[in-house]
Amino acid sequence: MPHIILRDVSVEFPVYDGTHRSLRRALVDLSVGGRILNHGRRVTVQALDGLTLDIQDGDRVGLIGSNGAGKTTLLKVLAGLYQPTGGAIDSEGRIATLLGADCILDPEMTGYENIDHAGVLLGLSGGGGRLADEIADFSELGQYLHLPVKTYSAGMQLRLSFALATAQESDILLIDEVLSAGDARFMGKARHRLNALTERNSIIVFASHVDDQLRSMCNKVAWLQNGRLMQFGETEAVIAAYHAWSPEAE
């Protein structure tokens, strides 16, 4: 059964400056014992702090929290892209990610070229015509697919990358805030598609600032603040608690 379980997970990002990035410098330090030329303590940023979270089959989890709360980092940890610097993660199931429209899409290539490229990269089946037809149909981009992606609006890029990300055969789908760029019509289609995905016994985790999206798409919400999990539970209750708390923090 697909699941993701986090136990006391922490993530610390190292922050390197120029001297820490230099191989020549590192070799010199090594040859003089490394202690004499001390370039200062290593600076780290604590992005997640002791997170324990249990996500089970059928869960549609929304992530809320102010900017910098750690939502994106958490999604990347859930995806296995960052391995926790502390604590443990146990996950089962094939994972698909939609963490920013700019990652799969190459702005210089046309829509169709991007579909081919993503098809290979994501190992999508039905290569060639069928995949392209399917994506073209869902994204409703029509003739724009012949143009370079750099000419697309943010919403159009979202349509294409969302169509590609959800074409993957996966058990767990992780989506970052990107959905906010879609218009009402597209959001309706996206919701249908996500519902169809959950019916195949998937887990969906997605970050959003739009309460209505969370209400209509999630059965649970996790609220993050400064890398800590404030609350995890029923959607309405957590959203209410989040709004009640936010103003006080100012």
Partner 1 sequence: MGDFSKKSRIAHDDFLAGLLAWRIWLGLGMQDIRIRYKRTALGPLWITASQVTTFVCMGMLFSAVLKNDIHIYLPYLAAGMTTWSFLAGVAQEGPQIFVQYHRLITRLKVPQAVHVLRVVTRNFLIFLHNAAAVLLVSWALGGKVTASLLFLLAGFPLLFVTGFALAMLLAIVGARFRDLGPIIFMVCQFGFFMTPIMWSVADIPDGSKWWVYVNPAYHLLELVRAPFLGQAPEASTLWISLALASALTAAAYGLFRCVHHRIAYWL
Q: Which stretch binds partner 1 (CB under 8 A): 55-63, 121-129, 182-190, 197-205?
A: 121-129
Helix, strand and coil percent figures for the chain, each rounded to 5: 45, 25, 30
> Does 203 contact partner 1 by CB under 8 A?
no
For partner 1, the closer CB: 5 or 103 = 103
132 makes contact with partner 1 (CB under 8 A): no
Contact 71, 63 (CB under 8 A): yes
26 binds partner 1 (CB under 8 A): yes
> For residue 164, which of 207, 100, 247, 224 has the smallest C-alpha distance?
100
Segment lying near partner 1 (by CB under 8 A), choices 57-65, 75-83, 148-156, 183-191: 75-83
Minimum CB distance to partner 1 smaller for 72 or for 231: 72
Please work out the total of residues on this chain that contact partner 1, with binding judged by CB under 8 A. Answer: 31
Of the candidate residues 117, 189, 193, 209, the single one contacting partner 1 (CB under 8 A): 117
Among 1, 37, 121, 196, binds partner 1 (CB under 8 A): 121
Pick the closer one to partner 1 by CB: 16 or 245.
16
- Asked whether the beta carbons of 130 and 122 are under 8 A apart, the reply is no
| Span from 31-39, 117-125, 202-210, 214-222 in contact with partner 1 (CB under 8 A) | 117-125
| Comparison of 112 and 210: residue with beta carbon closer to partner 1 | 112
Q: Give the distance from CA 139 to its chain's centroid.
A: 20
3, 5, 10, 13: which one binds partner 1 (CB under 8 A): 13
**Is 34 one of the binding residues for partner 1 (CB under 8 A)?**
no
User: What is the Cα–Cα distance from 25 to 166, expressed in whole angstroms?
Assistant: 45
In terms of C-beta density within 10 A (0-12 exposed, 13-18 middle, 19 or more buried), how is residue 100 classed? middle
104 or 221: CB nearest partner 1: 104
Q: Which residue, chain included where needed, has tokens 């289609």?
A: 189
Q: Would you give the binding string for partner 1 spanning residues 92-111, x where CB under 8 A is met?
A: ---xxx-xx-xxx----x--
The sign of the torsion formed by the CA atoms of 216, 176, 97, 140 equals: positive
| Dihedral over alpha carbons 146, 185, 117, 205 (to 10 degrees) | 170
CA 158 to the chain's CA centroid:
14
DSSP 238: H
Q: Given the rule CB under 8 A, which residues bind partner 1?
A: 13-14, 16, 21-24, 26, 76, 79-83, 88, 95-97, 99-100, 102-104, 109, 113, 116-117, 120-123
